[in-house]
Structures are given as structure tokens and as C-alpha cells.
Structure 1
């Protein structure tokens, strides 16, 4: 048995982790744009990345290391993605690290970037900024702000996991993500830190187990970026570990970060869980749920608070899964609007369903009626603010 308890603070409260964020001159508004995570002792590190075929330079740099390498430093910048920069992009990362005054303290340093695609890194600003770091700093708040792009707010979490043997470990995360989010990771960076004594193989396994129901189950706009990264760093300082407890704690952290991203979907006001039940196969359940979370017609209906079940049914049919309108049941929370070929959408029912859509979060349930497989995907509404933000993104 184990207990997972939320606690106050940032990742700097985890034993052995240091972090900070500063303004290095990348953001013209003076906000933080460069941060770091540092540990005295090298960490086991595992990561999953975007499925976009054009992976950014920081991802290529990470993947150039042999599997099961360790690191003690991650440098993170916003405003510039260092993507589609070719070999020069990776060379710039190596040049940056070789120019740091504290390079002798670093073990396999890593970099992560987010921002505009198609520009080389401003090395002079980054080198000067990084050389001003105090590696003993503990400011998770500054770091959380440094990695933001179009985010309306920082995204952090922290938990303590108490084990049956009396030992405990902490796990927490800092993340960014609000737009270009699609169910194949998302335009997001997420750094999860823990003092659990977790082996690399278990960490990688836990990441892959949990990604499908968290970061791979969310959608803001159906786009997948070049830099998407989920990275787990484990320094083992607590000397505590239980595999089942770690897998569940990691799921809790990943799910919380994913939900924060959907809720912050560049102007989003609504978060919807699209639960597909009783599909013929697991693949069908996933396909239909993700189609609903991705549909622009569905998203704009959510924005307009319009419980148009026709858009829901049409999207399910267009997803090409096995389905039959005489077996399909559609509900907004517990309000049934379509029941196995029967339209329940009278004036009273529509008013009840409309009240559901006026809430900040709710569930749209689609019972396919052909099997026993289920999946939940998460999405948000899409409105005028999204267009405004992305029309001005480079400015």
C-alpha cells in the first residue's frame, strides 16, 4: 500500500534539485525566458518526444546520447524553438554548453527549447544569461515563468509518496503548454523531478504506460509541434522506491499537467472529457475519442455552448470506427440527448444540456453499444482569442 499526498511548493522542494529562471533578453517584454534544473549528483533520465517527423535540435541532441546515460543539468529557453535549424542547431547547443563558466560541473548537459520555429539560437544572450545563474538557487516559481510562451499561467505540481515500509519520496513537475496541442504529445515541455530511487528501465516503462491516457489524450487545436518533450529526472536521494507507487504517482503528475494544459488552451474557457464507451475495439474507442477532442466543429460548438449532438454523432461516424446509430447513446453528463436512434432533444432536454455546457468542465459520453472497450480524450473550446494569439505569435 502507498499514499500519494499533494504538498505545497515547486520542484525545488525535492531533495537535491536546484532551479531558477531569469530574463536573458529573448522576450521583449522583459519576462523570464531562460531557466535551468540542476542536481549535485547525476540523475537517471528518460524522455518521450513529439511524433512530428521534424524534430527540433534539442531533441536530436538528447538522442545523440547512448541510452541510459545520466545528466545533472537541463537548460530551458522560451521564445526560440531551435527547430528546422539543421546541423547548426545542434552545434549551437554544444557551443553554448562549452562556453559556460561552470561547464566542469556538468554531466551530459541537456537543452530544451520552445517558441518560434525556424530561427537560430541567440547564443550571446543565452551564454551571458546562463553564466549569471546561481546553481544553488531554489526558485521553481522563476523557472515556471521562464518556460512559458502563450501560457496564461505557470503549470506546476508536487506530491509526497508514502510507502508501506515507512519510507517516502517526492515527485513534482514544471510544464508549459497552451497551443499546438494534439493527441500525440503536444506543444509542451514537461520536466518531472523525483528523489525516488527508480531504475531507468522502470522510469521508461512508467512513462510509456502513462502517456496514452495523459499527454496523448489531450487536444487544443489538433497540431503537433517539433519540440514536444516529457522528461523525467530521478536522483535517488530518498533511497525510497516502489514500482507500483511510482507508476501511479507519475500518472497523477502527468494527468494533472495535461489537464492544466487543456484548461489553458489559448483562450479556452471550457474543458470537455470525451468518453467513448462500449466500442468494438480499444483502437475504435481511442480513434473516436480523439476525433471528438480534435474536431473544430465540436470545439466551436463548445465555445458557443451549443449541445449540438449532430456534430458529436457526425464526428464519430467520420472517424470510420464500427458504429450503428441504432445502438449509439450520446449524453452531456447525465443528460441523454440521443438514445439508440431516438432523438431525445426536445426543448426541456436541450435546456438541461445547455446548462451543462455553461459549466467550466463536463463530460460528453458516447456509448457505441458494440463491445466493451472505452477511452477518454480531453479537449477544450476554440474561440476568437485563439485566432488572435496565433495571428500575432511571432511579434
Structure 2
């Protein structure tokens, strides 16, 4: 038995972890743009990365370390992705780490921002040299890693085990655009003091990515830098596999939902539940197609309960389906029922009221089996175009 308790606070509450964010001059107006996570003991580390074939230099740098390496330092910059920068991008990371005052063990770098520009090495080095590694300021860190985010994204839990021991786990992340259901899709840093075995870290990340970070979509684009990093210093000496897998799922789900809700210009966060599909693969494929459809997203923005766009997207996903078996609902309002045209003025008005909410569910019962999957998305409107048209400026 175990108890999982959400607690107020951030990763800096976990024993042995330190963090902060500063202004290194990468962003205008002295905005915070450079952060770190430091552990006073070596941490086991696992990660999942973007499936974009053009992975950024920080990801390539990480993968150059030996298997099962440990680290005590993560350096994170915003404004510059260090992607599509070739071998120089990796050389720049090594140059930065070799120039710092402190000799870290297998330091990790993570970057987010504009693709195709070389890192401003001197600014990053000078900024990093000013870090106080005994600082605990996760609020500053969360601000420093933001790009188009409108708010910081953090979560924190404590797990109490039956034997009286306990461990903490928390996360800080960024993500609002270039979010597509294709693993990771943002930057997320998860810290814990659980005494979790290395093999469980890897398995837990993989299993939980499928229904969290791999099930969200803002705009259908997958970034070059997407990273989920899990660090454990094992200081609590406490562990329970079932508890750890469940609390990690909660942490990752929290972060994923905050990203969907903060989709660039988004006003609505929507769950797309596909149930009773013939296969799990069909359920997953249809749910992700719905969360990723521009026509569906724009209908959500216009608060238009256009079930035709829902049905069309399901059919276009090429799963096994039958219009005489399909049932489509907005929350509990059925708008299409097994081939029967029931979408009258009264039902449309009820569905419209659902779409006026900030959060709701669209349920699609395929009627051909027992498998289900839920994907998550948001609406897409004028603000998204405005943000991304001016992104580099």
C-alpha cells in the first residue's frame, strides 16, 4: 500500500537538488533565459527524445555519453535551439562546459528556441559562471526555460509507503507550440529522490510517455529538441515500483495537460476519447488524428459542434469503422447516433453549450470492439498565427 499526495512547491524542495534561472542576455529586456539543475550527489539519468530525424545538438551530445552514465548538472537555455547547427553545435556545448568554473560530471545541456542559429557561447558562459549552486529557486528556473509559454509549468508529489518511508518527485517544463503526438514534444525535467533502479526508470518513462506526452497535440509539429529528462539522486532510499510508476504517470500527465491548455493562443483543452475500437492501434490512431486535425481545431475555436469534421477525420484515419456503428458525443450530448440524423436545433444548442467551456470531452464510440485511447488537444485560432509569424522577432 502507498499514498500519493500532491504538495505545494517545486523541485527545489527535493533534498539535494538545487536550481535557478538568470538573465544572460539571450532574451530582451533582461528576461530570465538561462537556468540550471544541480545535484550535490551523482544522479542516475534517463531520457526520451523527439522522433524528429533532425535532432538538435544537445540531444546528440547526450547520446555521446556511455550507457548508464551519471550526472550532477543540467544547463538549460532558451531563445536558441542549437538545432541544425552541425558538428559546431556539439563543439559549442563542449566549449561551454570546459569554460565553466566548476568541474561537473557528465554535464547535460538542453536548449529551446529558434532553429538554425549558433549558440551565443560567451553570453552563456558568463551567465553560467555567475550561478550559485546552492540556490533553490525553481520559480526562476521555470521562467528561464519559457519561450512562447504564457505561464510556468510545474508539479510536485510526495509518496508515502507502508513501511513509513517516503520519496518526492516533481517536474518543471516548457511547451506551448510545436507540440505533436510523437513522443516527448517539449522540455521536461523530472527530479526525484526515490531509490529507483535504472531499468525501472527507463521502463517507466517509456510506458507513461504513450498516454501523456505522446498523446497531446497543439499544432501538429514535432520539434528538434523535445526532451523528457528523469534524474534521481536516491537520497530518500525509499522505493516501490507500483507507486513510482503511478506517480510518474501523474507528473507526466500534469505536464502534458498544462501544455495543451497553454497551446499558443489556445482557449480550450479537449480530450478526444475513442472507445470500442476493433484494436488498440485503431483507437490510438483515430484519437491522435482528431487531436491533430486543423479542421477540428478551428471548429473548436469557433465553438461549432460540427460532428461532420469529427466523423470525416475518423474515416480519413483509415481505421476499421462503420457509420452505422459510430456514436459521437460532446460530453454527454449525443450528436450522431449509428447513422441516425438526430442533429436538430435543440441538440445543436446543447452541444454548443458544451463547446463554450474551457475543458470538455469529445467521445467517439466506434462500436466494433473493446479497445480505447484518449488523446488531448486544443483549439487553433488567430493568436497562433500571430505568435508564429513573429517568432524570430
TM-score (norm. length: structure 1): 0.99
**1:376 maps onto 2:374 in alignment:** yes
Moved more, 35-44 or 179-188: 179-188
Instruction: Choose from 129, 153, 163 the match for 2:127.
Output: 129
Per-residue Cα deviation, 1:163-207 (whole angstroms, up to 9, x for no partner): 111100000000000001000135410000000011111000000
Match of 2:68 in 1: 68
Q: Is this contact kept in 2: 1:3–1:161, CA < 8 A?
A: yes
For 1:265 and 1:37, locate their aligned partners in 2 and report how far apart those are by CA, in whole Å.
Answer: 26
For 1:237 and 1:152, locate their aligned partners in 2 and report how far apart those are by CA, in whole Å.
Answer: 34
Instruction: Give the superposed CA RMSD.
Output: 0.6
Match of 1:27 in 2: 27
Match of 2:222 in 1: 224
Query: By how many angstroms is 1:19 displaced?
Result: 0.2
1:311-330 aligned at under 5 Å gives the runs 311-330=309-328
Q: Is this contact kept in 1: 2:194–2:236, CA < 8 A?
A: yes
Match of 1:177 in 2: 175
* Secondary structure of the structure 1 residue equivalent to 2:186: strand
Structure 1 segments of 4+ aligned residues over 4 angstroms from their partners: none
Match of 2:107 in 1: 109
**1:82 maps onto 2:82 in alignment:** yes
Q: Is this contact kept in 1: 2:48–2:184, CA < 8 A?
A: no
**1:366 maps onto 2:364 in alignment:** yes
For 2:319 and 2:272, locate their aligned partners in 1 and report how far apart those are by CA, in whole Å.
Answer: 15
For 1:90 and 1:200, locate their aligned partners in 2 and report how far apart those are by CA, in whole Å.
Answer: 26
Match of 2:164 in 1: 166
Q: Is this contact kept in 2: 1:186–1:223, CA < 8 A?
A: no
For 1:350 and 1:237, locate their aligned partners in 2 and report how far apart those are by CA, in whole Å.
Answer: 56
TM-score (norm. length: structure 2): 0.99
Instruction: Choose from 308, 311, 316 the match for 1:310.
Output: 308
Q: Is this contact kept in 1: 2:184–2:209, CA < 8 A?
A: no
- Tell me, which stretches of 5 or more residues in structure 2 are unaligned? none
For 1:127 and 1:92, locate their aligned partners in 2 and report how far apart those are by CA, in whole Å.
Answer: 11
Count of aligned pairs between the two proteins: 393
Match of 2:40 in 1: 40
Per-residue Cα deviation, 1:369-392 (whole angstroms, up to 9, x for no partner): 001000000000000000000000
Q: Is this contact kept in 1: 2:49–2:184, CA < 8 A?
A: no
- Tell me, which stretches of 5 or more residues in structure 1 are unaligned? none
For 1:15 and 1:242, locate their aligned partners in 2 and report how far apart those are by CA, in whole Å.
Answer: 19
Match of 1:145 in 2: 143
Q: Is this contact kept in 1: 2:19–2:135, CA < 8 A?
A: yes
**1:388 maps onto 2:389 in alignment:** no
**1:193 maps onto 2:205 in alignment:** no
